[in-house]
Every structure is written in structure tokens, then in C-alpha cells.
Structure 1
């Protein structure tokens, strides 16, 4: 008997796309902050967040095929953590 997965794969794919879109929006906001602060080290969180967005898009496409690896999820977690750690000093200092 052939299994009917229903709409679950489509919902999962849409969830990955929404998460990637949110990460891309955060990257744009961080680029805006970096531009106001004169670029430099302030671009690091934006680059990390953009890398997360791209990784999420690729992960969503491969997840649809059922080939998600734990290493890829670890990469996403590491990029998010690195982006947060880089953004922390920016959040604690006032904009001049």
C-alpha cells in the first residue's frame, strides 16, 4: 500500500522557508546597524546571520529529500551562536 504523506512535507518546507526569510530580514537589519556604525567589526553579525539564512534555505531543500545530517544542524547552531556573540557588544553600546 502506498503511503500518502498529505500536506506535511509542504508545511515543513514552508516552515524552513519562513525561518530563512526571517534570518535574511535580521541580516538586513544588522547591515543597517553596521552602516550606521561605520562598518568595520559591526558587519560580523550580519555576515553570520546571512550565512544562517543561506544555510537554512539549502537545508530546507535537502530536508525535503530526507538527507538532513546532524553536522549541518550543528553548523546552523554554531553560526547562530557566533552571530549572537558578535552582536552582543553592538547591542550593549549606544549608537553615536
Structure 2
């Protein structure tokens, strides 16, 4: 008996694409801020966010290989946490 999946695979693919695009846009904004501030400490959250975007691209392309493995999810969580923790002082310090 064949199961009718409907549009679910397409919606899942679109969700991965939107999330990856948002992460890439955030990484570009953070790289712009890092360039304006002289590539100092502001580089750390930009690199972490770019790594999240790349990881999301790889996970989106290879979901069938086990994208929900605990180690992979832990990697994404650590990268997001480092990016946010590194960006928080930059946001609180205000513009230069």
C-alpha cells in the first residue's frame, strides 16, 4: 500500500530553504558590522552565524541521512549559542 504524502515534502523543503536564507542574511549583516568595527571581536558571531548557515544547507540537502541526530542538533545549538552570546555585547555597546 502506497502512502500519499501530499505536499508535505515540498513544504519541508521550502522551510529548510527559508531558514537557511535567514541564517545567511544574518551572517552577511554580522560580517558587515564586523567590517565596520575593524574585524575585531565582532568577527566571532559573524563566523558562528555563517557556520550555522552552512550547516543548515548541508542538513537541508541531506535530511534523509539523519539530520535529527543528537550530535548534529547539538552542533547547531552550540553554534547558535556562540553567535548570540558573541553578538550580545556588540548590540548592547551600541554604534561606534
Q: Same fold (TM over 0.5)?
A: yes
Distance across 2 between alignment mates of 1:50 and 1:7: 30
Match runs of 1:14-53 below 5 Å: 14-53=14-53
Task: Report the Cα distance in structure 1 between the residues aligned to 2:26 and 2:4, rounded to whole angstroms.
Answer: 37
Q: Deviations over 1:14-53 (max 9, x none)?
A: 1011101000000000011111111121111110000000
User: 5+ unaligned residues in a row in structure 1: which ranges?
Assistant: none
Whole-angstrom distance in 2 between the partners of 1:70 and 1:13 = 21
| Runs of at least 4 residues off by over 6 Å | none
Tell me, which stretches of 5 or more residues in structure 2 are unaligned? none
**TM-score scaled by length of structure 1:** 0.92
RMSD of the TM alignment (CA)? 1.1
Q: 8 Å contact 1:37–1:95 — kept in the other structure?
A: no
2-side partners of 1:35 and 1:67: how far apart?
36
Native 8 Å contact 1:24 1:49 kept in 2? yes
Contact 1:52 1:80 in 2 (8 A): yes
1:59-83 deviations in whole A, cap 9, x for unaligned?
11121x2522121111111100010
TM-score, length-normalised on structure 2? 0.92
